[in-house]
Amino acid sequence: MLATPSPSLTGAHAGDSLDLRWRERLETVLAAGAAAGASLVEVFLESTDHIGLLAEQERITNVSPAFGRGAGLRVFLGDRDGFVSTNDLSEAGLLQALDQALGMLGLSRSSLGSHAFAGLASMRDHGASKESWLQHCPGLDESTARLLKATALLDRHGDHLQARRGSYARDWQEVLVAASDGTFARDIRLHQSVGINALAADGDHRASLGRRYGSSGRPDDLRHWDAEASAIDLCSSARSMLYADYVEAGNYPVVLANRFGGVIFHEACGHLLETTQVERGTTPFADQVGETIAHEAVTAVDEGLSDGAFGSLSMDDEGMEPQRTVLIENGVLQRFISDRAGELRTGHARTGSGRRQSHNFAAASRMRNTFIAAGPHSPEQLIGSVDRGLYCKSMGGGSVGPTGQFNFAVEEGYLIEDGKLGKPVKGATLIGEAKEVMPRISMCANDLELAAGFCGSVSGSIFVTVGQPHIKVDSITVGGR
């Protein structure tokens, strides 16, 4: 079924596209920056169209459309840079932003520079085949109906549910990147995510749980979402956790489930392999390429290529096509995730990982689809190898501090006793440091799966995928009661 959306809420951009017609204006700006002495000038133009929906119980309670345009200009002088963002895309507005960025580096358009600008290359148009994506997304009638069905399914399959929510977000983005090294590239991105949440309550017992699914470049994805399977899965977890006891604090072997369990690798280790951390001096792995930093069972990858994955992209926000970057192979550190500034400042070659939330941020080295590769074991073998430990079926959020210490909430946990899953437990937090925990990942199962997520860092909140098979950590500190 194709929607017949109205122009006001679904991208009234016809004839207003970020395309070749911008070439002359961009060349004017880039030439002015190069003539002023900048070693590189980059312009990132963006047009966005967003819809967010919320269903609660039997009602649609929020429909929030948003759209906008903007530019981010970055000027380099050697390895220093200045960045300015603006909503004014007129030539005068872009030149004003350029003046401001030049001024940050002590340059001005009246100064005599030495950097020549040879003009933009032919445009690499990754968006040409994606022009109809927005029109093929579900319209408001269809998407609100899907959400209401999801909250009804939660009601049908759940017990003691005090609140039921379904949410949907559709983010469409058109970008144009132009730089004084000739880079000229265009892309269209489409990200959709749908989530369900439930709060179960019975007397003093309470449990709140959620699930989120996301994709990129698949206009039909909401139509294909199996809302019933998601509702059954969530309600089953809520039933388990409603009467769960608090976990006893201590050090345990832990088995982490696949899919979103990968958030720990993402936060605890992945961020430490970004060149922004090398620049800051906040990664313990800065000088360890070629050295063993993890158990030999661990191979980890960051890539932007998996079809439909939330973190996939045709080009990064600096116009570079993504790659498959092996970060760790059999425990040995292979390379870092790098962007343009990271390459300039650390020497690590760019990996197509320059990403940003919007034109308001300068691009930085960021993860895309990041996962621990599958191993040879079955999940049952991992659980069977633990006498007394914790099985983390579902992870909540977490964070990593400036000294590399991480912490993660376990949303759904079970004790492991004598190699078998036992009673559910709540209130667990996993605490550790990447450097200490990576060598303790001793077993990886054969059931790698990916999960969509959002990552907030220096260049804003971006779409990413985390992933892993079931993995076993021999010992980790578990915070509890």
Site for other proteins in 58-77 (CB under 8 A): 59-70
Check binding of 114 to other proteins (CB under 8 A). no
- CB-hemisphere CA count at 13 Å for 145? 7
Q: How far is CA 461 from CA 192, 278, 282, 399, 464, in A?
A: 15, 20, 20, 14, 9
CB of 167 to other proteins, least distance (A): 12
Interactions with other proteins, residue window 34-53 (CB under 8 A): none
Check binding of 409 to other proteins (CB under 8 A). yes
**The pairing of beta strand 460-468 with beta strand 449-457:** antiparallel
CB of 76 to other proteins, least distance (A): 11
Check binding of 282 to other proteins (CB under 8 A). yes
CB of 101 to other proteins, least distance (A): 7
CB of 334 to other proteins, least distance (A): 25
Check binding of 479 to other proteins (CB under 8 A). yes
Interactions with other proteins, residue window 124-153 (CB under 8 A): 140, 144
Indicate which single residue of 108, 111, 162, 330 sits in contact with other proteins (rule: CB under 8 A).
162
How far is the C-alpha of 14 from the C-alpha of 5, rounded, in Å? Answer: 14
Check binding of 278 to other proteins (CB under 8 A). no
Choose the binding region for other proteins from 25-33, 169-177, 248-256, 322-330 (rule: CB under 8 A).
248-256
H helix or E strand, kind and range, residue 452 = strand 449-457
SS3 content of the chain, % helix, strand, coil (to 5): 25, 40, 35
Cβ-in-10-Å burial (0-12, 13-18, 19+) of 479 comes to: middle
Which of 76, 135, 112 minimizes the C-alpha distance to 342? 76
Q: How far is CA 63 from CA 53, 141, 144, 355, in A?
A: 5, 11, 9, 28
Structure tokens at 59: 């009602």
Q: Yes or no: say if 447 and 471 are a contact pair by the CB < 8 Å rule.
A: no
Check binding of 396 to other proteins (CB under 8 A). yes
CB of 288 to other proteins, least distance (A): 16
Check binding of 474 to other proteins (CB under 8 A). no
Q: How many CB atoms are closer than 10 A to CB 381?
A: 16
Q: Where are the beta strands (DSSP E) in 20-58?
A: 40-56
Indicate which single residue of 360, 381, 385, 446 sits in contact with other proteins (rule: CB under 8 A).
360
Check binding of 208 to other proteins (CB under 8 A). yes
Structure tokens at 332: 């040995």
Interactions with other proteins, residue window 76-95 (CB under 8 A): 80-88
Check binding of 236 to other proteins (CB under 8 A). no
Nearer to other proteins, 357 or 446 (CB): 357
Indicate which single residue of 6, 111, 129, 288 sits in contact with other proteins (rule: CB under 8 A).
6
Structure tokens at 418: 């004598």
Choose the binding region for other proteins from 125-133, 306-314, 414-422, 423-431 (rule: CB under 8 A).
423-431
Check binding of 279 to other proteins (CB under 8 A). yes
CB of 417 to other proteins, least distance (A): 20
Nearer to other proteins, 373 or 410 (CB): 410
Q: How far is CA 231 from CA 153, 164, 207, 209, 460, in A?
A: 6, 10, 15, 11, 31
Indicate which single residue of 31, 152, 163, 169 sits in contact with other proteins (rule: CB under 8 A).
163
**The pairing of beta strand 324-329 with beta strand 300-303:** antiparallel
Nearer to other proteins, 206 or 440 (CB): 206
